[in-house]
Amino acid sequence: MKSKKHFFDRETVLAPLLVLPAGLYIVLFVGFPFVMSFVYSISNVTVGNPNFKIVGFQNFTAILADPVFRTSLFNTVIFTVISVLLVLVFAHILAELLLRDFRGKWLVRFLIMLPWTAPIALGAVGFLWFLDSVFSPLDWLLRDVGLLGKPGALLGPASNLYWLGRPVLAMASIILVHVWRLLPLGTVILISGMNSIPKEIVEAAQMDGAGYFRRLFHINLPLLFPVIGVTVLFATFFTFTDMTVVWVLTKGGPPPNATQVLASLAFLTGIEGGDLAQGAAIAIFFFPVLAGLAIIVLRLVKKAIVT
pLDDT digits (tens, 9 = 90+) for 52-85: 889 889 999 999 999 999 999 999 999 999 999 9
Burial (CB count within 10 angstroms: exposed 0-12, middle 13-18, buried 19+), residue 157: exposed
Note the pLDDT of residue 170.
94
Q: List % helix, strand, coil for the chain (3-state, nearest 5).
A: 75, 0, 25
Check whether the bond before 254 is cis (ω within 30° of 0). yes
Non-local CB neighbours of 229 within 8 Å, separated by 6+ positions = 297, 298, 300, 301, 304
Residue 249 has a pLDDT of: 93
pLDDT tens, position by position, 96-116: 888 888 888 888 888 888 888
User: Which CA distances in Å does 99 have to 54, 177, 294?
Assistant: 57, 25, 29
Question: Span 67-306: which CATH code?
Answer: 1.10.3720.10
Parse the chain into domains and list their residue ranges. 67-306
SS3 label, residue 211: coil
Contact 68, 260 (CB under 8 A): yes
Residue 246 vs residues 3, 63, 205, 275: alpha-carbon distances, Å? 58, 21, 45, 21
Backbone phi, then psi, for 47, in 5-degree steps?
-65, 125
For residue 83, the model assigns a pLDDT of 95
pTM of the complete model: 0.87
Averaged pLDDT, 154-183: 91
